Structure 1
């Protein structure tokens, strides 16, 4: 029997993964803001679901909950860092509180969760860290500046971490889904508009969001149950992939972004080389 620690386990992909892990006969330590959101799972799996009420943006609270989870459960095999949220608006439109929330929840919280878990994972001889990102961790769309900043930030941290912890038997994978039919879109924070952006691409995207009326992901291609299956499967894959892209929209979007960046890089080859000291200098 394996044990998963999952943040953001009350809804969306986190909930789908938690339900499937429990159905497989394994244990889940769920970090949630409101444990009542898991009452149904708790009733169905009373001996396999462990919950903690945690605001993951409170670093001290997060550390204490992580310590308690390892102390009470003894061994955690998979850390699924999944909690996150989105915000839309031109950089100029976003208020300070939204900027701080995006960085706190999408970047600082997973960093601090992983840091809190690492001593325990080393002591037990290894484990898996699965960090939720998004296709927005490798490409950027208009109006998502702070969301992308937080996701590109956690991707940089996670990729560096991979080399740091491999010697301890700890494998790390980034999950990069595209658009998924979850409540994520309904919870999107939308900044108050500035008239200067009304006729720009930001304004066009805002019109699309407003027309969707909170149902941004109603027709998304990604199936949360199939995505949960893929995440659970990757937890036992050896060697662990550095990244797992999920969804045709994510694959196509990320590939196009990488090809574009590589083309621009190749075009800069001559000027890049021109800034070196002469050979032998």
Structure 2
């Protein structure tokens, strides 16, 4: 693996933390963001000038995000890879969630990632290219009961990134959407937020998310293998559009896409019947 400079949001835990560790151990330079600078003091002590850390919350708004990204590129000179990793899960039926919870989720998982990309692209264009990795989830292609707002943010960012990939291809900027399944990152037991439950949903499919913080629930994916696969995409001549990680991710996405295609095909006759008559 070639040594590069990486910008990664959310390196205090989860995939972001492990990615930073692996990259730094291999001699790469990392510019990372955290909400609490104290959460990565050990990394800073171990890696010195190879690690630069900025304090940033993705809900701070476009001006704050742009200032951090601009400072990162100015200090590094060149950043080869931008990784949109920071985010969290919000779970519960739609009416169980408060407006404040919904706004914060979308502001973090969707708008925050969009703002990072918008801030980074002018620098990537000016330097002649680079890569963007968007950490999503199989929930960006498939849905689960009790995850409507979380799915909304992930489907939204996947649509944004897929369209943006086409916009950026002429500038030598590759985009990869990463769709992990379950893994022992602490996403469920640590960062996930669960709505206050309504009795109306007791015993319904939406109620299953109330157990999401249960540490006894199994995970399928190996965190190190997943992170290594993410990093490896940057060595490919062309960025893969999507990267599914974990057999559970593959199954959920395969089943969802198969069902959606079947539903589309079943409505083909109706779709074609609504065209204007063909000119003679």
Check conservation: 1:198, 1:204, Cα contact below 8 A.
no
Shift of 1:115: 0.3
State the match for 1:116 in structure 2.
Answer: 119
State the match for 1:30 in structure 2.
Answer: 32
Distance (Å, rounded) in 1 between the aligned partners of 2:86 and 2:209: 25
Map 1:69-108 onto structure 2 (within 5 A).
69-108=72-111
The count of residues paired between Structure 1 and Structure 2 equals 276
Distance (Å, rounded) in 1 between the aligned partners of 2:181 and 2:108: 19
Q: 2:7 aligns with which of 5, 8, 11?
A: 5
Map 1:1-281 onto structure 2 (within 5 A).
1-59=3-61, 60-186=63-189, 187-206=191-210, 208-209=211-212, 212=214, 215=215, 219-280=218-279
Shift of 1:17: 0.5
Larger helix proportion, structure 1 or 2? 2
Secondary structure, aligned partner of 1:174: strand
Distance (Å, rounded) in 1 between the aligned partners of 2:149 and 2:78: 35
Check conservation: 2:92, 2:207, Cα contact below 8 A.
no
Shift of 1:278: 1.4
Shift of 1:109: 0.4
TM-score (norm 1): 0.95
Query: Can you list the C-alpha shifts for 1:136-167, whole angstroms capped at 9, x where unaligned?
Result: 00000000000000000000000000010111
Distance (Å, rounded) in 1 between the aligned partners of 2:54 and 2:204: 44
Q: Tell me how large the CA RMSD over aligned residues is.
A: 1.2
Distance (Å, rounded) in 1 between the aligned partners of 2:74 and 2:209: 47
Gaps of 5+ in 1: none
Distance (Å, rounded) in 1 between the aligned partners of 2:262 and 2:237: 32
Distance (Å, rounded) in 2 between the aligned partners of 1:153 and 1:70: 27
Secondary structure, aligned partner of 1:179: coil
Secondary structure, aligned partner of 1:258: helix
Which portions of structure 1, spanning 4 or more consecutive aligned residues, are displaced by more than 4 angstroms?
A: none
Shift of 1:182: 1.1
Gaps of 5+ in 2: none
TM-score (norm 2): 0.96
